[in-house]
Amino acid sequence: MNLKMMSLGKKPSVIREIFEYSNRRKAQIGAENVFDFSLGNPSIPAPKAVNDAIVSLVSEGNSVALHGYTSAAGDMAVRTKIAENIKSRFGADASAQNIYMTCGAAASLTVSLKAVCNEGDEVILLAPYFPEYDVFVENANAVSVAVCGVGNNFDLDLSALEKAISEKTAAIIINSPNNPTGNVISAEQIEALAALLKEKSKEYKKSIYIIADEPYRELTYGVEVPYIPNYYDNTIVCYSYSKSLSLPGERIGYIFVSPKCEGASDIFAAVCGAGRSLGFVCAPSLMQRVAMECDGMTADISEYDKNRRLLYDSLTEMGYTAVEPKGAFYLFVKSLEEDANAFCERAKKYELLLVPSDSFGAEGYVRISYCVAYDTIKRSLSAFKALYDEYEVK
């Protein structure tokens, strides 16, 4: 038995532990009395077009073809449509030969990392970051190097990045809009990062890839999310429909290897090889078809926006400090004591279930997932106030 895998399987993530606690507590005191802000599970329904597409596809009659294997990289018509959309939506060059269909962003990342990393390579992660990145990087026999963001919004720290890049750096993962901060990296920052990576690639005579993890691309509130392949050639986009179409359980997404990558066709071959080696071939066939019909659509995110405003405005008015989220559905709030874990324990007294930032590679904050009912947020505000007052009195 592989002991490392066993311990990974046995060790529940912090978020999962809170989820289990939440279920126990709900059974004890009633679901409506627990304010569970732990999970990033979309709370708004998939667009009607998704259900319509499913109904129409399964009614078409050719169920053998519909439910059968597609080619390993995905159905050609699906990949062609997605590539056309990339061209028309973002003005980036793309063709079906650059698209590999996957089971969501997690699979896209695992496959992409395996495709670009060799044993002992380093992958730069921008803290705070999605905790599973460490697991995915290790799976690619590479090593995570965390670089924390700066300022109130955890923006890119270019000088720290410059120091962190070495001859071993294979890639840097960019996640914008970000989980857990809700921050969106501006075009100016991406330009500066691209310039730095070009300089370092030249210095070390190797390609350094940006892996753009984009499950939240469409979840934005009045800001543009720069399309990284338009700024940096060696970019691999890991896209997922989990959040944009509220389809996380259906496991569908894709990898886009920019044709501007050096040796793009070899990198795409490495993606196919990594998919093969990890068993991520032929993403769910019905969902590939749904993606073809609904690519570019977004669930009605006005409810997230309402939640965002209510939570951010109310908490900051009470005296909390938080990153103003420009995208995704998370609020990153400064803990009222140094140890965010102790703060989360205290919040439990008020039935507030928050995630400590340590699990995201940064200390002293908590993440609040606001993909919940508006009413839950409204009713939770007095609990947040009581929690704040407890610290004020001290």
**Residue number with CB closer to ligand PLP (126 or 336):** 126
CB of 130 to ligand PLP, least distance (A): 4
**Residue number with CB closer to ligand PLP (90 or 130):** 130
The bridge status of strand 209-213 relative to strand 352-353 is unpaired
CB of 380 to ligand PLP, least distance (A): 22
The verdict on 240 binding ligand PLP (CB under 6 A) reads: yes
CB of 367 to ligand PLP, least distance (A): 11
Size of the site for ligand PLP (CB under 6 A): 13
Options 69-77, 81-89, 101-109, 161-169: segment touching ligand PLP (CB under 6 A): 101-109
Facing residues of 240 across strands? 253
The verdict on 370 binding ligand PLP (CB under 6 A) reads: no
The verdict on 361 binding ligand PLP (CB under 6 A) reads: no
**Residue number with CB closer to ligand PLP (242 or 258):** 242
Question: Within positions 202 to 231, which residues make up the interface with ligand PLP, using CB under 6 A?
Answer: 213, 215
CB of 287 to ligand PLP, least distance (A): 12
CB of 393 to ligand PLP, least distance (A): 36
CB of 86 to ligand PLP, least distance (A): 18
Q: Contact 365/333 with Cβ under 8 angstroms? A: yes
The verdict on 40 binding ligand PLP (CB under 6 A) reads: yes
**Residue number with CB closer to ligand PLP (179 or 357):** 179
Facing residues of 102 across strands? 253
The verdict on 106 binding ligand PLP (CB under 6 A) reads: yes
CB of 240 to ligand PLP, least distance (A): 3
The residue whose Cβ lies closest to ligand PLP is 104
Task: Name the site residues for ligand PLP (rule: CB under 6 A).
Answer: 40, 104-106, 130, 175, 179, 213, 215, 240, 242, 248, 253
